[in-house]
Chain A
Amino acid sequence: MVSNNKPAFAQRDRTWHPKGLTPAYNSSVLRSPKRALLQMPPSLSETSGPVFGHNMLGEHDADMLRNAVVDGDPVGERIVVSGRVLDEYARPQPGVLIEIWQANAGGRYRHVRDGYLAPLDENFSGYGRCLSDEQGNYSFRTIRPGPYPFPNNGPAWRPAHIHLSLFGASFAQRLITQFYFEGDPLIKHCAIVNAVSDPAAVDRMVARLDLDNAVPFDALAYRFDIVLRGRNETRFDTEHS
């Protein structure tokens, strides 16, 4: 029998995150639970989690300009995205697996189910992965994705965005999100963005132009910092007293 010797986590602030039901985003209407979530303290089933190391990564996983090349460079605006993964107590989070997916420069996904009329780019898959380093820093190279239309109470457009999946040290930290690009006029019109109600929270999903990190005559740069749920050290202390 295992004892619960790992620290627990503070509760998620579910008014900061999007609610399940956000009727302006049509797909949420039938896919959001109506019952209240059952609140439970985390046990080892949630305070533990899978650990992914460098053996999980392919050689070019963090270089989406290279990882699907057939006969040339992908079409689009070359960018470097970098940032730092911290927890809610501002502690760096090393070894976080970041899985990335996005549309190509024309707003088309390389996915058997995407039928948007913009063309595929044979040199770009939109798939990537990286791990945060000891200081929590991460970086990947890609092209800036295009906006694309989606059905939502009639036709609607997604702002340019990149999807990120994050694995911290525990399953309780699991998070999937998207980031947007500073200055994109579509952000404020998007029902998926606006599922997040607090403007300060929306602002946290916007990557900033990062000219200091631009690669001269090669790639522009954007910065996107990430915060994962923090371990509740207070609880840790009382459990061991």
Chain B
Amino acid sequence: MKKQLRETPSQTAGPYVHIGLLPDAAGIDVDHHGIAGHTGLNSGTPIVITGVVRDGAGEIVKDALLEIWQAGDDGQFADGHRGFARAHTDFETGEFRFETVKPGPVAWTDGTPQAPHITVMIFARGINIHLHTRIYFADEADANAADPVLNAIADGRETLLAKPEESSNNSYRFDVSLQGEAETVFFDI
């Protein structure tokens, strides 16, 4: 099949993205249908993932919006929008927070299992086309060692590993660097 049309070009989501995607955060009172902050997945191990997004000067980005998409603990993607959630980086602290469950293994293109991971898309003022990355889990060392995506990364694979928080069970820290020394690995998938 030959392409007949070209994709509509991307443009930045800008600083007021919340109006459309997280209206509560903008100060607009509309029903959000439960996609803010929680994937709606309940079967399996509940986890909390928090983090910040930093720019190339190390400043915390306070107007970003993140979306996640993941399989359930059985490695299956649910119907509807369970498995999907959105969160913005807090206007004061810059921290985002997701509540979900630890995902199960999803097949790679050859049918072998990938390590548990969560797909992440990042939107913000100054980001011309959304950035795509993955959250893996630092406490899944064996699965990570066999993961085809992690193993394709020459430099910076640790940037994709959410670290268990010492202070609380089943809480993970995942900080993103848009640019700089600790720049997160982003994908073209």
Chain A residues within CB distance 8 Å of chain B: 1-4, 8, 10-14, 16-20, 22, 25-35, 37-46, 48-53, 55-56, 58, 67-68, 86-90, 99-103, 109-114, 125-128, 163, 165, 171-172, 174-178, 192-193, 195-196, 201-202, 204-205, 226-230, 232-234
The answer to the question of B128 belonging to the interface, with a C-beta cut-off of 8 Å to chain A, is: yes
Chain B 5-49 near chain A by CB (<8 Å), digits 1 or 0: 111111111111111110101111011010000000000000000
Stretch at the interface among B94-102, B105-113, B138-146, B162-170: B105-113
Give the distance to chain A from B70, nearest Cβ to Cβ, in Å. 8
10 pairs, CB–CB < 8 Å, chain A vs chain B: A14-B129, A22-B128, A31-B127, A40-B187, A52-B80, A88-B5, A89-B4, A100-B20, A174-B130, A232-B1
Chain B residues with CB under 8 Å of A99's CB are: 20-21
B91 touches A113 (CB 8 A): yes
Report the bound CA distance from A221 to B173 in whole Å.
48
Q: Is the CB of B14 within 8 A of A177?
A: no
Selected contact of B106 from candidates A2, A10, A11, CB within 8 Å: A2
Which residues from chain A contact B89 at a C-beta distance below 8 Å?
none
In addition to A33-B186, A163-B13, 5 A-B residue pairs with Cβ atoms within 8 Å of each other are A1-B113, A2-B106, A30-B179, A32-B179, A111-B16
Q: How far is the CB of A194 from chain B (nearest CB, A)?
A: 11
Q: Is A171 touching B119 in the complex (CB atoms < 8 A)?
A: yes
Contact: B152 with A163, CB < 8 Å?
no
Given A33-B186, A100-B20, the answer on whether A90 and B4 have CB atoms closer than 8 Å is yes
The answer to whether A17 touches B9, judged by C-beta atoms less than 8 angstroms apart, is yes
Could you count the A-B residue pairs with CB atoms below 8 Å apart for me: how many are there? Answer: 276
Question: Hey, which chain A residues are within 8 Å of B113, CB to CB?
Answer: 1
| With A1-B107, A88-B5 as contacts: A30 and B178 at CB distance below 8 Å | yes
Q: Is the CB of A176 within 8 A of B179?
A: no
Distance A103 CA – B105 CA, assembled complex (angstroms): 43
Q: Do the beta carbons of B6 and A111 come within 8 Å of each other? A: no
Expressed in whole angstroms, the minimum distance between the Cβ of B62 and any Cβ of chain A is 9
The smallest C-beta distance from A125 to any residue of chain B, in angstroms, reads: 5
Complex partner residue of B10 from A18, A53, A100, A109, CB under 8 angstroms: A18
For A89, what are the chain B residues with a Cβ–Cβ distance below 8 Å?
1, 3-5
* A22-B7 Cα distance, complex, nearest whole Å: 20
Residue of A nearest to B2 (CB): A89
Please determine whether B111 and A227 come into contact, CB atoms closer than 8 angstroms.
no
